[in-house]
Amino acid sequence: MPITLTINPTRRAVVCLAAGAAGSLALTPLAARAQGAPSGQKLKIATIGAGREGGALGSLFVKEGHAVMFSSRHPEQLKDFVIGLGPLARAGTVAEAVAFGDVVLLVVPYSAVAEIGKEHGAALAAKKLVIDVSNPIARRDGDELVKQVNDAGGAGLATQKALPGAHIVRGFNAIGFAQLATLAHRPGDPAAVPIAGDDKDALNLASTLIKEIGFEPVVVGGMAMGKYLNVGTPLAGVHTPAEVQQIAATLK
């Protein structure tokens, strides 16, 4: 069920470590069990978009033992890729992936989000979680699309508008595909994944999954904060959880 984050008007952002730190959305093992997503439970994961980022991110879930369906409008082109990942990976059309996944990773050029919403919005609204990794980028998606997204309140609120009723969390938006495998489970301070969303259960499930693949989720606020996760923002790139907290506290 969607929730409204409690934002102290004197603070510009709600920031809490999703696991272990104080905060209304902090995830505890008990809370995780209550959400029906204990750490280690294997879910069916679907990717809409299996390009550079979708392919790399989905591969991390395969490594952790989840069944993953990678999708494309041309699934036959993913054949060798999924064979290389082993029996937990498969390829399908977007419709097949949407039907397959308990959790859906949306990893497409932002200009495709509205179309995907029109075609698959009802099915996506029935999923436990949609992780929105997509960014509006003018040189790829066009100035007009970027303007529309900004007018809607930025990526995040715009994705929620395109996928009404979906349990969306934005995350992984500005961690480059080539770094994902080496950052996962890195020694020392984990690499942080800033996340934003309005749905407590979806945030909890996203946090569980992000920890499982070897990153530390940091909730930076509600969906309105989703625009600050894009490439080119201060939160972009690789940061420790403490750094993400510090940066997020400076954002409006």
Ligand X SMILES: NC(=O)c1ccc[n+]([C@@H]2O[C@H](COP(=O)([O-])OP(=O)(O)OC[C@H]3O[C@@H](n4cnc5c(N)ncnc54)[C@H](OP(=O)(O)O)[C@@H]3O)[C@@H](O)[C@H]2O)c1
Give the interface with ligand X as residue ranges (CB under 6 A).
48-54, 72-74, 94, 107-110, 112, 115-116, 133-135, 137, 172-174, 176-177
Q: How far is the CB of 75 from ligand X (least distance, A)?
A: 8
Of 72 and 208, the one with the shorter C-beta distance to ligand X is 72
Q: Helices (H), strands (E): how many in the chain? A: 11, 9
| CA 116 – CA 127 distance, rounded (Å) | 14
Coil, strand or helix at 47:
strand
Q: Is 67 left (phi over 0), alpha (psi -120 to 50) or beta?
A: beta
Coil, strand or helix at 99:
helix
Of 28 and 77, the one with the shorter C-beta distance to ligand X is 77
Of 74 and 252, the one with the shorter C-beta distance to ligand X is 74
Of 55 and 200, the one with the shorter C-beta distance to ligand X is 55
Of 25 and 196, the one with the shorter C-beta distance to ligand X is 196
Q: How far is the CB of 141 from ligand X (least distance, A)?
A: 8
Report CA Rg, the chain: 17
Of 11 and 186, the one with the shorter C-beta distance to ligand X is 186
Q: How far is the CB of 180 from ligand X (least distance, A)?
A: 8
**Which residue, judged by CB position, is nearest to ligand X in the bound state?**
51
Looking at the DSSP assignment, which residues form a beta bridge with residue 194? 218
Q: How far is the CB of 197 from ligand X (least distance, A)?
A: 16
Q: How far is the CB of 7 from ligand X (least distance, A)?
A: 26
CA distances to 66, 179, 225 from 243, in Å:
30, 18, 17
CA distances to 4, 16, 32, 225 from 220, in Å:
14, 7, 19, 7
CB 171 within 8 A of CB 206: yes
Q: How far is the CB of 213 from ligand X (least distance, A)?
A: 15
Q: Residue 162 contacts by C-beta under 8 Å, 6 or more apart in sequence? A: 113, 114, 116, 117, 121
Q: How far is the CB of 245 from ligand X (least distance, A)?
A: 21
Of 13 and 94, the one with the shorter C-beta distance to ligand X is 94
